[in-house]
Amino acid sequence: MEVTAGTLSVITNPPGLAMVVDGHEEGRRTPLSLSLPVGQHRVQVLKGSEKQEFVVDIRDGVVSQKNIDWP
């Protein structure tokens, strides 16, 4: 069975924030695009000790975009 994937594009204001996807910190900072396996993924965007969390449902071949404006 072939694993299918989609893309998550995250844009933040301000840019340059750290991201954790399914408990693993990404080595790059926002804005960024990640190829992820189909299914639900828990994403955290970190600004110092503050964080915003969301769950994204990745679909095969689809680009999901998330814009985060930090208050």
Tell me, yes or no, whether 11 lies in a domain. Answer: yes
Q: Whose CA is closest to 67, among 20, 6, 7, 13?
A: 13
Tell me, yes or no, whether 66 lies in a domain. Answer: no
How many distinct structural domains can be found in the chain? 1
- pTM across the whole model: 0.89
| pLDDT tens over the chain, length 71 residues | 676 999 999 999 999 999 999 999 999 999 999 999 999 999 999 999 999 999 999 999 999 999 999 87
Tell me, yes or no, whether 70 lies in a domain. Answer: no
Instruction: Give the chain as a DSSP string.
Output: -PPPEEEEEEEEESS--EEEETTEE-SS-SSEEEEEESEEEEEEEEETTEEEEEEEEE-TT-EEEEEEE--
